[in-house]
């Protein structure tokens, strides 16, 4: 048997826009099912919300998302600060993307960076040819890096 894990992100009314951004960043395809498609009356509040959303790319990237039922609002996030030149964060989760080359990681970074807050710029580090962290315009923090050769 083989197990896989897929990050599942929860939004409050903007899951579709987030999925579109992520698909554009990685060259993936978006699949969305709305609450209305599963039987909620089309004129009910939130019927156009995402109950099942997936971005899948040929390079193996996968992320899922949905709109939490209820009133729209910002995602729950922690805080990030710098102390003594070190970034400290208590975000409840990160989404990690690792690529084989800096070019591959840079392309994803560029796609996610529109409207994002850069926590750590994508740059060479002591452990990787490229490492960076940003929080996208939807409040999701992404850690991107280049895999090291074994």
Q: What's the rounded Cα separation, in Å, for the pair 127 and 49?
A: 41
Q: Where in the chain is the domain with CATH 3.30.720.110?
A: 80-146
Statement: residue 94 has pLDDT above 80: yes
Statement: residue 1 has pLDDT above 70: no
DSSP letters, 33-100, are EETGGGTS-TTSTTTTSEEEEEEE-TTS-EEEEEEPSSS--PPP---EEEETTEEEE--S--EEEEES
Is pTM beyond 0.75? Reply is yes
pLDDT for the residue numbered 38:
86
| C-alpha torsion sign, points 115, 45, 7, 99 | negative
Q: What's the rounded Cα separation, in Å, for the pair 55 and 18?
A: 10
Statement: residue 104 has pLDDT above 70: yes
Task: Give 68's pLDDT tier (boundaries 50, 70, 90).
Answer: confident
Would you call 137 exposed, middle or buried from its count of C-beta atoms within 10 A (0-12, 13-18, 19+)? middle
Task: Give 78's pLDDT tier (boundaries 50, 70, 90).
Answer: low
pLDDT for the residue numbered 83:
57
pLDDT in tens, 111-136: 999 999 998 999 998 888 999 999 99
Q: What's the rounded Cα separation, in Å, for the pair 20 and 31?
A: 10
Q: How many residues would you count in the chain?
A: 150
Tokens standing for residue 121: 């710029």
Statement: residue 75 has pLDDT above 80: no
Statement: residue 149 has pLDDT above 70: yes
- Fold classification of 7-67 is 3.30.720
CATH of 80-146, one of 3.20.20.70, 3.30.720.110, 3.90.1420.10, 3.40.109.10: 3.30.720.110
pLDDT in tens, 8-58: 998 889 999 999 999 999 999 999 999 899 888 999 888 999 999 999 999
């Amino acid at each position: 048997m083989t197990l896989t894990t897929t990050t599942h992100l929860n939004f409050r009314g903007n899951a579709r826009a987030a999925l579109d951004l992520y698909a554009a960043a990685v060259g993936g395809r978006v699949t969305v099912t709305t609450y209305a498609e599963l039987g909620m009356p089309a004129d009910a509040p939130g019927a156009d919300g995402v109950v099942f959303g997936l971005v899948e790319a040929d390079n193996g990237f996968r992320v899922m998302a949905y709109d939490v039922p209820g009133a729209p609002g910002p995602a729950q996030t922690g805080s990030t600060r710098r102390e003594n030149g070190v970034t400290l964060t208590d975000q409840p989760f990160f989404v990690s993307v690792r690529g084989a080359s800096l070019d591959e990681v840079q392309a994803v970074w560029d796609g996610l960076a529109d409207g994002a807050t850069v926590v750590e710029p994508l740059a060479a580090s002591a452990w990787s040819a490229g490492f960076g962290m940003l929080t996208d315009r939807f409040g999701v923090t992404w850690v991107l890096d280049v895999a090291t050769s074994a």
